Amino acid sequence: MSDRYYPNYCDGQKISGESHFSVINPATEQLVGYAPTSTDTEIEQAIASAKTAQIDWAARPDQERKDLLMAVAEKLQGESAALAKLITEEQGKPLCPLGSPFEMQAAIGWTQVPASLDIAPEIVFEDETRKDVLHYQALGVVAAIAPWNWPLMIAIWQIIPALRMGNAVVIKPSEYTPLATLELVRLLNEILPAGLVNSVTGAGDVGQKLISHPDIDKVMFTGSESTGVKIMQHCAPNVTRVTLELGGNDPAIILPDANPEAIAEGLFWGSFLNMGQTCACIKRLYVPESLMDEACDALVKLANQMPMGNGLDEGIMLGPIQNKMQYDKVMSLIADAKQAGGTVLCGGESPSGPGYFVPVTLIRDLPDTARLVTEEQFGTALPILSYPDDDLEQAIHRANNSPAGLGASVWGTDPDQTESVAARLNAGTVWINQHGAIHPMVPFGGAKGSGFGLEFGVEGLKAVSQPKIISRNKA
């Protein structure tokens, strides 16, 4: 087989598969490589292998698990240049510092932190008659279902805390971006015991078979809300636990005392990190009328300065949309926004030639009912919406008026006012004068339709654990 065929791993062995699907570079529409389409038998074998390996893994001392995960972080550091290039080829994000090298550094950081954390048993009640202690122990086999936007980083978010707590994992990456994850699984298998991390690949049907299996104890799902609904349905018959990290439609509110020029760069990358294909990107920007022109000018200026192209080329800051389906969706939202009376400040038309490129498209004067406002665009298009300077209530109401509630942000100079607006925004995370600034020690999860359950930090470890009370009779 050529080195363009990336195998799965089961019980520490390569599984080359009977049939394959192709993975396309979204900047060139050329082939990057092939991943296997996992069969039902291979899915069964992956789960069985994880189930067996988990027993020994959970019995090992904590420190041994922590040391092995630290060795994984070191391995990733050593392989980060090669992995970053592969991420750029299959996902599209550039090789610039905010692109695939950033994804690799995040993957390493999100490995080191869970590897260094402990959950101490907690005495929840004690008197002269009894003592009750809360422990967290392994659940068993965790199924990880990952999306295509930050394929390797999100795979790490799902795999490492699960391993830290003594679980084994079967991961199914997105069918659009499986290759870097398969490389990751190969590297994990060089360090960890056989069978602890297994992969299966294919489309949603492979994911469905995996999570519906009775030997799956927990599903870590990151993806769209519509798939999240199906995940819950598939998990219900076996009462399988599930964490759902779903889509967002994050609002950002600029307050009248803000300086648009000073915050423009934060707003720009808050909106367009990974070409806007980030769950917690700014997807609706609310600006006081008096600052509208200045804010729009500052953002247009930045948009015009950012080179877009094939992420392997020097100096490129923005790449393509990751796949044709998403490209069509972003273009249809832009077309709808034009029809709805929006003023296109920049972008709006896709260049000819190969690749799913959508230039940064900033649109003002849109009604709140436009699809670009009500739906998650997940791409390089942003509605800039005005509100009266003396009616902040209106901005808060419109920002909260969405079924999604992943993130939100407020931008201003008065600490009391920014804090009081933050308290009223209904989201899992509200940032002040930044957006999307996640950290491996800080719990992250959605409100409303953006899902439930937390990742990162100690809360993230609890999410892949079984809480257990041991209650002693002292009498």
Residues that bind ligand NAD (CB under 6 A): 145-149, 154, 172, 174-175, 203-204, 207-208, 211, 222-224, 227, 230-231, 234, 245-248, 279, 376, 378, 406, 446, 450-451
Given a contact cutoff of 8 angstroms between Cβ atoms, the answer to whether 333 and 321 are in contact is no
- CB 416 to ligand NAD: min, Å: 30
> DSSP assignment, residue 193?
P
Sign of the CA dihedral 402, 407, 410, 415?
positive
Give the nearer residue to ligand NAD in terms of CB position, either 109 or 204: 204
**Residue whose Cβ sits closest to ligand NAD:** 207
* Separation between Cα atoms, residue 117 and residue 54, nearest integer Å: 20
Angle of the 151-164 helix axis to the 100-116 helix axis, nearest 10: 10
Question: Which candidate in 10, 96, 279, 281 is catalytic?
Answer: 279
- CB 290 to ligand NAD: min, Å: 32
Strands 141-145, 218-222: parallel, antiparallel or unpaired by DSSP?
parallel
- CB 178 to ligand NAD: min, Å: 9
Burial class (CB in 10 A: 0-12, 13-18, 19+), 271: buried
Give the nearer residue to ligand NAD in terms of CB position, either 15 or 216: 216
* Separation between Cα atoms, residue 47 and residue 217, nearest integer Å: 11
Give the nearer residue to ligand NAD in terms of CB position, either 57 or 176: 176
Assess whether 281 carries a catalytic annotation: no
* Separation between Cα atoms, residue 415 and residue 165, nearest integer Å: 39
Give the nearer residue to ligand NAD in terms of CB position, either 43 or 84: 43
Given a contact cutoff of 8 angstroms between Cβ atoms, the answer to whether 141 and 47 are in contact is yes
- CB 182 to ligand NAD: min, Å: 13
Contacts of residue 140, Cβ cutoff 8 Å, sequence gap at least 6: 51, 54, 167, 168, 215, 217, 218
Give the nearer residue to ligand NAD in terms of CB position, either 217 or 376: 376
- CB 388 to ligand NAD: min, Å: 31
Assess whether 64 carries a catalytic annotation: no
Question: Which candidate in 245, 281, 376, 455 is catalytic?
Answer: 245
Given a contact cutoff of 8 angstroms between Cβ atoms, the answer to whether 5 and 34 are in contact is yes
Residues marked as catalytic: 245, 279
